[in-house]
Structure 1
Amino acid sequence: MGTTTLTDLKLRFDVTEVGDVVHEARRELARALSVNKGVRRLEVGGSWSDESEAHLLADTLQSSRTLCHVSFFPKEHEIVTSLAGMLSPKISANYSLLSMSGYGSFLRGGHWFQVSEVIRRNCALVTRAAHFVIGTKVKYCAAALELVHSNPGLVEKVRELASVDEDEAASRIKESLKSMSELDDFMRLAGVVRYGVTCHSRDDGLLL
């Protein structure tokens, strides 16, 4: 599928000078990322020493509904630990992040455990949702689709499992979401009814 949307972005800051202009440039980039709806994969490297910039990046990761894969390798290793601490309090509300990499020695603390658990959960949800899309119509797969239907990784997983192209995968996801809005499907998947919903007439002509 032809597209001009930027989906992969690499940022490397090799500027050694410390000054307001440099910091502001990095902060503006972080702010731009927070409203970008196209980038799926982000790689950050080089100098990233200011914690306020890392805080903006953390806010972006927490709120983004499209950013799935992140690599963070700043020259200042300790900023990775700071980023993890900023992420951990709210990261559970993120259903888009599917992978995150950084310096190994800084990925073993309690904060990183929380981040990795969210990533593990999101990957499992995407897999379950994809199985719903390709035909496994069970309640826990339907629930997963509701949570991660906007995750770009779902399109990739459906492509992988169904051996279809991106357009077809997106179309199948859309149709699956539509089917969930149908009363019969919803009631059956929720376990309220076994086969479907049927309305019966009462003696006064009203429907039960």
Structure 2
Amino acid sequence: MATAMKTLRTILIALCIVVAGCSNAKPGPDEPRETPNASAIPSVIRAEKQQDDFVYRLIADKEAYVEGDTVTIYAELEYVGEKEQIDIYHAASPFYFPLVEKTRNYSIPYAMNEPLIQTTLIKGEPLREEYKRSGGYSSSDDPKFIEFMMDFVDKGFAAGLYEMDGSAHFYVEQAGNMDKTTYDLKAKINFTVNEA
């Protein structure tokens, strides 16, 4: 009985090692890599996050676009507290629009100047900013990525699945002292661009 249990345990351990090895296998250079299937991933074109007295929204106007379409994405920040207005402090904008093209797994950079700017939010009147297409690359980047980025900046969105993990980053000074409260509200949306 003890010998049978040892044999069974040895077989189970070997089986676990084989399964673990298979699950970590990576495709070789000639094997196709899995890419997200845009039709299998439901589009999320509106996301909202609230923290304290601030509501951040990230919104795309459509679930799916066609190459050549204007892709409209915008962010809103709304103050919903008890005061009539409140001052926030941020970089050139409180909004960040980092984007990833999931089919090719390309991160599309989003840069921003970082002066300190004060903006007054009026209760119930959202501050709104539209995403402006931009990006960059370096000469050491993969040539396919460079070509993709050049086309993206010049022509617009290529066919693919896009995910934006946006945020609103700012701080508020506390009345009567030098303390400040920092906010980093995040929301994620995704959409597809189909071939023309």
TM tier relative to shorter chain: under 0.3
| Structure-1-length-normalised TM-score | 0.23
Please state which structure has a larger fraction of its residues in strand. 2
Higher relative contact order (CA 8 A, sep 6+): 2
Please state which structure has a larger fraction of its residues in helix. 1
| Structure-2-length-normalised TM-score | 0.24
